[in-house]
Amino acid sequence: MYRFLWLVVSMLFLFSCELYYDDNTRLLFKGNLSASFGTETAALPIVAFASGEFISPLLFFAISPYEDVDVIGMSNIEVNGSFAVTTISPSNEQKLFLVINESNNPEYNANFPTQFIEGVEKLTLKNSTYEIPSLSLNKIATSEILIARKNNLTDTLFLGLKYNSKFKEILIEEDNSVTTAYLSNKSYEVFPNENEFRITFDHIQNEPILIEYQLRYNGITEQGEKEVVITNNNYDFQF
């Protein structure tokens, strides 16, 4: 009986593990950000992370899953937008990701968003190097949307905005394509007695925002969506 209990405890500790590293093995993450901000861009920090999900033993032979996340390397963006991060190499990681301009970093620049680049482990590893697909890097801008009632005098407008502001999440897919999700959203109502309505918000400059809308009068009379890029910090939405 005691031998069996000891075997169970030993197995639990065997399956309970953390990220571990091969001696003298390194990885290189390299890529380029399309940006034109010179020395401002060069100051932005970039940090590489590795993570894995493991099982931890608790009292009375219970087990609990947990995630181990380690910083494995760090660097800065160059003036021309390129970056290269040399890291230590975990041998049992499940995910690899990069964070540009993380808000807790001493070199954080509030004029730029924090960018999370996930799915790096899906890329092909060549000569111990991960080549990150070309990405964009833009400042945070404050813009105004003017909602103007021109033709429709009876319906209530329900309008929603989806966009990225202080944070941007970039996901590398299995085919090495890149997708981006909208992390911020706002919603508004414009009633029939309102001819104009102004929205001021912060978003990432030169990147699309999604406008979703419905017109309602005893039910939905019209609905749709449009993806737009705001220029000169102003956009007019007329209905």
CATH number assigned to the domain covering 140-238: 2.60.40
Give residue 95's pLDDT band: very low, low, confident or very high (50, 70, 90).
confident
The answer regarding whether domain 2-134 maps to CATH 2.60.40 reads yes
Which residues share a beta bridge with 209? Answer: 228
167-199 pLDDT, tens digit each: 999 999 989 899 999 999 999 999 999 999 999
49-91 pLDDT, tens digit each: 988 765 555 544 444 455 567 888 999 998 888 999 998 877 7
E-state strands within the chain: 21-34, 45-57, 63-76, 82-90, 95-100, 114-118, 129-131, 135-136, 140-148, 156-163, 167-172, 178-181, 184-190, 196-204, 209-216, 220-228, 234-238
Residue 83 to residue 38: CA distance in whole angstroms: 13
Q: Which of 65, 97, 69, 63 is nearest to 170 (CA)?
A: 97
Which residues share a beta bridge with 115? Answer: 100, 168
Element (H, E) at 164: none
- 67 versus 9: the higher-pLDDT residue is 67
Which DSSP state fits 231? B
Residue 235 to residue 194: CA distance in whole angstroms: 18
22-41 pLDDT, tens digit each: 666 788 999 998 865 666 66
Q: Where does the chain hold its CATH 2.60.40 domain(s)?
A: 2-134, 140-238
Which amino acid does the sequence have at 85? V
CA angle 101, 106, 111 (to 5 degrees): 45
